[in-house]
Amino acid sequence: MTIDKGSNASPAGAATDPAAITSPIGFRLDPASGVPTYLQLVHQVEQALRVGHLKEGDRLPTVKEAVESLAINPNTVLKAYRELEHRGLAVGKPGQGTFIAGTLPRVGLAEQAALRKSLLEWLRVADDAGLDSEGIAALFAASLRDFLDGRDEERARRGKDRRATRRQSRASRVSGEVA
């Protein structure tokens, strides 16, 4: 790929030579999570985008770099990158690597801290009510699923209205310029 082994016969000169651009992030794995390995990689890239560790144009680790640090099958990394491309977040450039090509809504650190605080308050209430950690996790997962389902339906319903509003406002803007 991009790493030039050259004619480095002397062991001294063959020390690890990082590629010209290194990626801002490195991957890690949680074998106990039960989440498929490729999805763990996808989630980590998304999370890095959310908190600002990655931005548009940044290079993701090469397949070789990822494989070398995690000791995983290269196809797993390729699958993760394909998934990121499919989600519109990354684009592969032949011979150069995979680069971030999209953004996710970023949540500021202060906002995250506030959200965390309100979540902790809720956790305290749940704990007082006698829920154990599995119960809390199950309740949260179920609520999140319901919420997302409901939100998606709502959006689908509102989508038509919103498009209509946008058309209208564009029309009025154009007419304003003319006047």
Partner 1 sequence: MNVIECRGLAKRYRRAWALRDCGLVIPEGHVVALVGPNGAGKTTLLNLAAGLFRPTAGDITVLGGQQPGSGAARVGIGFVSQDAPLYGHLRAGDMLALAGNLNITWSHERALARLADLRVPVDRKVRALSGGQRAQLALTIALAKRPRLLILDEPLARLDPLARHEFMASLMAEVAEEGLSVVFSSHVVAELERIADYLIVLNEGRLQLAGVVEDLLAVHRVLTGPENENALDAQRIAVVHTRKAGAQTHLLVRNSAPGAPAPEGWQSDPASLEDLVLGYLRDPDARMLPGPAMAASAGGPAVTP
Least distance from C-beta 147 to partner 1, angstroms? 24
47 binds partner 1 per the rule CB under 8 A? no
Binding mask 52-91 for partner 1 (x = CB under 8 A): -----------xx--xxxxxxxxxxx--------------
Q: What is the 3-state secondary structure (H, E, C) of 135-148?
A: HHHHHHHHHHHHHH
103 binds partner 1 per the rule CB under 8 A? no
19, 29, 39, 131: which one contacts partner 1 (CB under 8 A)? Answer: 29
Least distance from C-beta 15 to partner 1, angstroms? 7
Residue type, position 98, single letter: T
123 binds partner 1 per the rule CB under 8 A? no
Residue 57: partners with Cβ closer than 8 Å, 6 or more residues away: 99, 100
- Tokens standing for 20? 């010209």
What CA dihedral angle connects 27, 29, 34 and 36, to 10 degrees?
A: 40
175 binds partner 1 per the rule CB under 8 A? no
Least distance from C-beta 101 to partner 1, angstroms? 22
